[in-house]
Structure 1
Amino acid sequence: MTQYFVAIHHPDDYDPSVAEDEAMSRDIDALNDEMKAAGVRVFVGGLRPASSAKSLRTQPNGQVLISDGPYLETTEHVGGFWVLEAGDLDEALTWGRKAAVACRAPVEVRPFN
């Protein structure tokens, strides 16, 4: 079985206290329960806003520079993710579709090496 990264993308100004209602929370909880029951869920985690990130970059002199904010400057960021174990990409995409519906957000599905 291959492991897949299923990432939920949020806009930079995403505020869960405004965007996530009880229905959405129930849908996400139900999806997590379904994933556990199917034996595909390896790990799940939500992330704090991209503004809380620290980026580390190696400099030519070998020093590592730490700066505030995400590594990439974009208008969206990964807000949460699952690591799933699925038989193939089609199965992982089925779970990704369910995640997009439950989270009401764009989803990326990518296999691990």
Structure 2
Amino acid sequence: MPQFAILIYADESLHATDAPATDLEKNDQHARDLSSTGTMSLAYALTPRAQAVSIRRDGTAAGPFVQADQFVAGFYVVDAPDLDAAIAIARQNPAVRTSTGGVEVRPVHSGGIIA
């Protein structure tokens, strides 16, 4: 079955090392729902952008690669029969219901977990 990456955009990651469980509950419930149906094959939440290190030809710098109001706060991969089905799944992400966040759906071209 085709795979689709769902990139979560937000103005900041909820997954700070000291984030209370109540701040994460809607996202965690969404992940549990997808896992229970076997739709989601992997998911990663990223730490706040202040913890990023950018690497370019001329060196490294603290902070995200691109300065923007929203950034990728996490991503997950779903198995869906087609793009329309993947979009329907992505619409359920809590970030879609915020005033500053949203998601992007992209078909996965190739790759996978390498053991």
TM-score, scaled relative to structure 1:
0.75
- Aligned equivalents of 2:10 and 2:39: distance in 1? 24
Q: Which residue of 2 aligns with 1:45?
A: 44
Counterpart of 2:47, as a letter, is R
C-alpha displacement at 1:97, in angstroms? 0.2
Counterpart CA distance in 2 for 1:88 and 1:37 is: 20
Aligned pairs, how many? 104
Q: Which has the larger radius of gyration?
A: 1
1:112 to partner: Cα distance? 1.3
Deviation sequence 1:35-89 (CA, Å, 0-9, x none)? 1222111111111111211111124xxxxx1111111111111112111121110
Match in the other structure for 2:104? 108
Partner residue, 2:112: none
Q: Contact 1:8/1:106 (CA < 8 Å) preserved in 2?
A: yes
Superposed CA RMSD in Å reads 2.6
More strand by share: 1
Cα separation, 2, equivalents of 1:80 and 1:68? 19
The CA distance in 1 between the partners of 2:31 and 2:54, in whole Å, is 30
Indicate the structure with greater helix content: 1
Amino acid at match of 2:85: E
Q: Which runs of 5+ in 1 are unaligned?
A: 60-64
Identity in percent? 26
Could you tell me which residue of structure 2 aligns to residue 75 of structure 1? 69
1:9-55 deviation per Cα after TM superposition (whole angstroms, max 9, x unaligned): 111xx3638xx884x74433332222122211111111111121111
What's the TM-score once normalised by structure 2's chain length? 0.74
**Kindly tell me: are residues 94 and 49 of structure 1, through their superposed partners in 2, closer, same or farther at Cα, counting changes over 3 Å?**
same
Match of 2:88 among 91, 94, 112: 94
